[in-house]
């Protein structure tokens, strides 16, 4: 029997042919399984490396990183909507918090989670970046693209590692965006489309920066695809995904508000016009520092100047890739497929990555209220997106090389740069880490049986986590009456209602919110004992006291 395609039908084939044909689908399945397993092994290995680097650079962290662990405790205890919490607009509810909730479920409240969970998230970002850089590529293009992501992100500069390996600093938001970009690479409706919508909605519900980092780039990349193909519906899938995710995020928030979820406090401040003009220049210099080029203790991290200078190669590559992607984007929109011959898959990934990187630069310019180094955290997403874009274009360059000599030179040069980056990371790990003052304070409080107390924000939740939950220190600030009241940001109302506290701790070197010895005495009277431990002051009363709940009381 002859089939309609001119070949033998199954009925006319020999038993051996039928058996071999039935086995063919297993080969792609085995390949996919191998890829998944390799990704899991790579993520696990990177998590270990990043955890060590985080402990070395970040140390015991701060109360921002500790707060999200305590949010994870609430989720583990069944409070999925964080109903008694008061959080900022970047609540990280469905981005970072699920990772911490899972970690707390497995390990309980542990100080190590401040380092381990951000390390896992960063490792997953690298794995997602490798996937995007190598999607649709084979051979040397795949190896060069994946290797470039590893060199730029898995072997980070000191400043990039400082922000990449702290939580929560929008890195999980970037992870959800990268995963959504990967899902939308194939322009069709289906489970990938649905997953992209869910991921973008979760990012939006957790961090409003996702509107700039995810939704806007996806929608604009879709519009650009329609313009490039000169067909209105050519980019309909990304545009529909952006619209659907925004609608889903709105509906979920409305339902959560009706049921009872966290309150949002303290709207996001923006920079003044004068500061924005300064931030344009800072965006250039600070991004270069994030890539390892510049001066300052947070830039070099003890890496010798010779190794540090090699990072110039990374800066040149990233700048070049962004410029090429922008030219392609403009050419595609202006002249269509006549000059822009990229496939739909390649065009979408390049467009969405470069748009996301530029959007994050705009976020930095608008939101950085001063030239404080703390605002450099807003550039982490731009560096990640631009690095993945650079890796993808590097793979394309490798694919187009025809000469064996050119291929060898590229491979040798890339390997040399990666080895220099790795050597720099070794110097980072060899440098002495930060002193763990909060660990010592937590040990002191526990040894003196001081388990329920108050503190300024930066001395509160971080000590709670440093004690592995054995000591609870709740943040307070000064109300209008000059007395201490609960801090209403990144806190749980149940921490204060009906609770009594026997001590107050604060750090004279970095006071916050007016919470100090004078205001503690004004609120609770003179303490029975005053201690100094590692730079902190600890005031202890013989009887436990309740903190006033009404603002200004």
Q: How many angstroms separate the CA atoms of 151 and 315, rounded?
A: 12
Q: Which residues of 344-381 are buried (b: 16+ CB within 10 A; e: fewer)?
A: bebbbbbbbbbbbbbbbbbbbbbbbbeeeeebbbbbbb
Q: What is the pLDDT of residues 59-98, one digit of tens each?
A: 889 999 999 999 999 999 999 999 999 998 889 999 999 9
| pLDDT average, residue stretch 164-190 | 94
What number is the average pLDDT over the span 413-433? 89
**Furthest-apart CA pair in the chain: how many Å?**
100
What is the per-residue pLDDT across 5-27, written as a single tens digit (0 to 9) for each? 444 343 444 444 444 444 445 55
Position 2 pLDDT exceeds 60: no
Q: What is the pLDDT of residue 406?
A: 84
DSSP letter (8 states) at residue 431: S
Q: What is the pLDDT of residue 180?
A: 97
Band of residue 28 on the pLDDT scale cut at 50, 70, 90: low
- CA distance linking residue 551 with residue 478, whole number of Å: 9
Question: What are the residue ranges spanned by the domains of the chain?
Answer: 27-430, 437-545
Alpha-carbon gap, residue 231 to 217, rounded angstroms: 19
pLDDT tens digits, one per residue of 108-165: 999 999 999 999 999 999 999 999 999 988 888 899 999 999 999 999 999 999 999 9
Q: Which H or E element spans position 313?
A: helix 311-335
Instruction: Kindly report, residue by residue over 303-341, the tens digit of the pLDDT.
Output: 888 888 999 999 999 999 999 999 999 988 888 766 666
Q: Which residue has the higher pLDDT, 440 or 268?
A: 440
- Token representation of residue 173: 């938001």
- Distances, alpha carbon 125 to alpha carbons 109, 164, 223, in Å: 24, 10, 26
């Amino acid at each position: 029997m002859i089939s309609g395609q001119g070949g033998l039908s199954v009925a006319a084939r020999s038993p051996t042919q039928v058996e071999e044909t039935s086995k063919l689908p297993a080969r792609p399945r085995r390949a996919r399984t191998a890829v998944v397993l390799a990704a899991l092994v790579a993520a696990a290995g990177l998590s270990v490396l990043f955890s060590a680097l985080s402990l070395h650079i970040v140390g015991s962290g701060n109360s921002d990183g500790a707060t999200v662990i305590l949010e994870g405790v609430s989720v583990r205890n069944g409070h999925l909507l964080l109903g008694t919490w008061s959080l900022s607009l970047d609540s990280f509810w469905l981005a970072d918090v699920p990772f911490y909730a899972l970690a707390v479920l497995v390990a309980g409240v542990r100080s190590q989670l401040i380092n381990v969970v951000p390390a896992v998230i960063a490792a997953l970002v690298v794995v997602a970046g490798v996937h995007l850089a190598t999607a649709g590529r084979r051979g040397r293009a795949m190896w060069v693209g994946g290797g470039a992501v590893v060199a730029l992100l898995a072997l980070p500069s000191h400043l990039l590692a400082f922000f990449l390996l702290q939580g929560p600093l929008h890195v999980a938001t970037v992870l959800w965006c990268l995963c959504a970009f990967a899902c939308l690479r194939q322009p069709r409706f289906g489970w990938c489309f649905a997953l992209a919508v869910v991921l973008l909605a979760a990012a939006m519900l957790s961090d409003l920066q996702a509107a700039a980092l995810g939704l806007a780039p996806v929608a604009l990349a879709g519009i650009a695809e329609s313009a490039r193909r000169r067909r209105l519906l050519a980019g309909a899938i990304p545009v529909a995904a952006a619209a659907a995710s925004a609608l889903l995020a709105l509906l979920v928030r409305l339902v959560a508000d009706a049921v009872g979820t966290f309150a949002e406090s303290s709207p996001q401040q923006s920079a003044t016009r004068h500061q924005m003009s300064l931030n344009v220049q800072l965006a250039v210099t600070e991004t270069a520092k994030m890539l390892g080029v510049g001066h300052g203790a947070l830039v070099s991290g003890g890496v010798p100047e010779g190794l540090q200078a090699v990072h110039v190669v990374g800066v040149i590559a990233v700048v070049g890739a962004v410029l090429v992607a922008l030219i392609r984007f403009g050419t595609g929109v202006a002249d269509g497929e006549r000059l822009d011959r990229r496939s739909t898959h390649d065009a979408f990934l390049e467009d969405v990555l470069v748009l996301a990187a530029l959007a994050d630069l705009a976020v930095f310019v608008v939101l950085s209220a001063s030239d404080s180094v703390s605002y450099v955290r807003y550039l982490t997403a731009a560096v990640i997106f631009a690095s993945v874009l650079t890796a993808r274009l590097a793979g394309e360059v490798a694919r187009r090389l025809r000469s064996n000599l050119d291929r060898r030179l590229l491979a040798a040069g890339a390997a040399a740069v990666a080895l220099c980056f790795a050597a720099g990371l070794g110097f980072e790990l060899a440098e002495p880490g930060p002193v763990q003052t909060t660990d010592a304070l937590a040990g002191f409080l526990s040894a003196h049986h001081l388990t329920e107390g108050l503190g300024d924000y930066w001395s509160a939740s971080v000590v709670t986590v440093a004690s592995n939950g054995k000591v609870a220190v709740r943040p307070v600030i000064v109300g209008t009456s000059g007395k201490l009241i609960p801090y209403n940001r990144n806190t749980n109302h149940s921490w204060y209602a009906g609770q009594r506290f026997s001590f107050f701790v604060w750090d004279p070197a970095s006071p916050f919110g007016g919470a100090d010895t004078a205001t503690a005495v004004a609120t609770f009277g003179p303490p029975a004992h005053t201690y100094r431990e590692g730079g902190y002051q600890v005031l202890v009363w013989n009887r436990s006291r309740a903190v006033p709940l009404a603002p200004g009381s």
